[in-house]
């Protein structure tokens, strides 16, 4: 197994990485032809690279490590390492004095298997040297957890202090809890679910249809190893659909209402009149510059197929970690019914410590888990402190 920092041109070692990159990114090769990764589907990958970042310092007994699982479009960079670093997607959560305090904890976060930010995925080269694209095999949330666990073994980390994740990252955390409960003393599930609702499946279906219907999709064989190619319009529409599920109706109304876009460009049916249209188009434009369409198809499909309690769990009295569930009243993607099902199914496993914190202050919707919501952050800080269990 090999580990190396990113070079001046990171695409030499891991094609398809988005820019900009943190200089703290590292890449490990965890599986080889002699010891391949066997996927849940039965297929295998003989070369798996994992992009990851580390924060803080491991304790002498290696018992202060927190693993952070990222959401659907995240990566291995949850936070700045220093003031000169690029912003992270969870700067409110990870860092000195933050709830996941890097003065206290050693933090590891990795891009998921199937991702497009350095870990092996559809942009990785196949035997011909060209990106695998449509030939990349289907992966599951369990496969992602398998790779996470292999990375931690590679880093010499034993039992974790905590596994923490929101949204798809929460699904990974739940999978980890049910299949490998002895790996950590705490599992923190934020804004997540044991399975997608039909509404969630429908949103993903529309997004994938938009990608596949883009003439530039070409059956998934559009890639040349660089971002900015392929079905940009379809991927942008997929992002617009998904973004609506991440925001609450109240937040959309408060931010945009029926405001008409002002500026020099003409408005009307051919271009669109309302400010909410311009906002969604802006979000789509940013997204297609940093994400890959085949990756989006694979990861949303993995979320769709996730059904946490459909298989027997391996929880036992010998491995009875604390489980902390966080939800948001304004979350229309994973609403109160979904959270209730999650809590009921967790308690039915026999877990003796399952807590639930429900935020009622934020109108941000599903995205609240990424934002500065004081009560939520304070409560999460409290359950993570080493004295909490």
How confident is the model over 41-88, as pLDDT tens digits? 999 998 899 999 999 999 988 899 999 999 999 999 999 999 999 999
Which residue, of 275, 302, 329, is where some domain finishes? Answer: 302
How confident is the model over 308-340, as pLDDT tens digits? 999 988 888 778 899 999 999 999 999 999 999
- Looking at the fold, whether 92 and 188 belong to one and the same domain comes out as yes
- Looking at the fold, whether 172 and 224 belong to one and the same domain comes out as no
Q: What is the DSSP letter of 328?
A: E
pLDDT at 47: 86
Q: What is the pTM of this model?
A: 0.93
- Looking at the fold, whether 192 and 241 belong to one and the same domain comes out as no
Residue 308 and residue 344: Cα distance in Å, rounded? 13
- Looking at the fold, whether 352 and 363 belong to one and the same domain comes out as yes
Residue 56: what are its φ and ψ, rounded to 5°?
75, -170
- Looking at the fold, whether 291 and 368 belong to one and the same domain comes out as no
pLDDT at 273: 82
- Looking at the fold, whether 330 and 358 belong to one and the same domain comes out as yes
Q: Is residue 307 part of a domain?
A: no
User: Which CATH number does the domain housing residue 217 bear?
Assistant: 1.10.1740.110
Q: For the chain, how many structural domains are there in total?
A: 2
- Looking at the fold, whether 235 and 285 belong to one and the same domain comes out as yes
Q: What is the DSSP letter of 270?
A: T
- Looking at the fold, whether 213 and 345 belong to one and the same domain comes out as no
**CB count, 10 Å around CB of 336?**
12
pLDDT at 227: 53
- Looking at the fold, whether 27 and 127 belong to one and the same domain comes out as yes
Residue 80 and residue 90: Cα distance in Å, rounded? 9
Show the domain range for 212: 199-302
Q: Is residue 98 part of a domain?
A: yes
User: Which CATH number does the domain housing residue 339 bear?
Assistant: 3.40.50.1820
pLDDT at 19: 59
**Alpha-carbon separation of residue 235 from 131, 232, 242, 315, 344 (angstroms):** 18, 5, 11, 39, 36
Instruction: Give, to the nearest 10 degrees, the angle between helix 293-305 and helix 232-246.
Output: 40
- Looking at the fold, whether 178 and 217 belong to one and the same domain comes out as no
Q: Is residue 157 part of a domain?
A: yes
- Looking at the fold, whether 42 and 18 belong to one and the same domain comes out as yes
Q: Which residues of the chain have pLDDT under 50?
A: 1-14, 225, 388-389
Q: Residue 330: CB partners within 8 Å, gap ≥ 6?
A: 248, 250, 251, 362, 363, 364, 365, 368
- Looking at the fold, whether 349 and 203 belong to one and the same domain comes out as no
Active site (catalytic) residues? 167, 331, 366
pLDDT at 17: 56
């Amino acid at each position: 197994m090999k580990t190396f920092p990113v070079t001046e041109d990171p695409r030499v070692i891991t094609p398809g990485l988005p820019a900009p990159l943190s200089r703290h990114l590292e890449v490990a090769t965890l599986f080889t032809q002699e010891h391949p990764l066997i996927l849940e589907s039965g297929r295998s990958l003989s070369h798996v690279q994992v992009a990851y970042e580390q924060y803080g310092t491991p304790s002498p007994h290696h018992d202060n490590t927190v693993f952070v699982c990222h959401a659907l479009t995240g990566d291995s960079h949850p936070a700045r390492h220093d003031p000169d670093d690029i912003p992270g997607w969870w700067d409110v959560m990870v860092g000195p004095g933050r709830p996941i305090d890097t003065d206290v904890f050693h933090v590891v976060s990795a891009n998921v298997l199937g991702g497009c930010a350095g870990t092996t995925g559809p942009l990785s080269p196949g035997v011909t040297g060209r990106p695998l694209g449509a030939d990349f095999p289907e992966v599951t949330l369990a496969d992602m957890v398998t790779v996470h666990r292999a990375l931690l073994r590679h880093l010499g980390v034993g039992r974790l202090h905590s596994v923490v994740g929101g949204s798809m990252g929460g699904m990974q955390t739940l999978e980890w809890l049910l299949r490998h409960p002895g790996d950590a003393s705490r599992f923190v599930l934020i804004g997540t679910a044991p399975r997608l609702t039909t509404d969630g499946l429908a949103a993903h279906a529309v997004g994938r249809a938009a990608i596949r219907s883009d003439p530039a999709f070409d059956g998934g064989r559009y890639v040349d190893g660089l971002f900015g190619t392929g079905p940009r319009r379809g991927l942008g529409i997929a992002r617009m659909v998904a973004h609506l599920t991440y925001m609450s109706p109240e937040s959309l109304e408060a931010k945009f209402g029926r405001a008409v876009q002002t500026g020099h460009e003409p408005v009307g049916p051919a271009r669109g009149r309302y400010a909410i249209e311009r906002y969604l188009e802006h979000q789509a434009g940013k997204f297609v510059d940093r994400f890959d369409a085949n990756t989006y198809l694979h990861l949303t499909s993995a979320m769709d197929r996730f059904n946490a309690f459909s298989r027997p769990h391996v929880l036992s009295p010998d491995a009875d970690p604390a489980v902390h569930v966080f939800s948001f009243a304004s979350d229309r993607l994973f609403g109160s019914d979904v959270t209730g099902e999650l809590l009921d199914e967790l308690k039915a496993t026999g877990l003796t410590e399952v807590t639930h914190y429900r935020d009622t202050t934020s109108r941000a919707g599903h995205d609240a888990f990424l934002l500065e919501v004081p009560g939520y952050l304070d409560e999460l800080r409290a359950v993570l402190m080493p004295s909490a269990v």
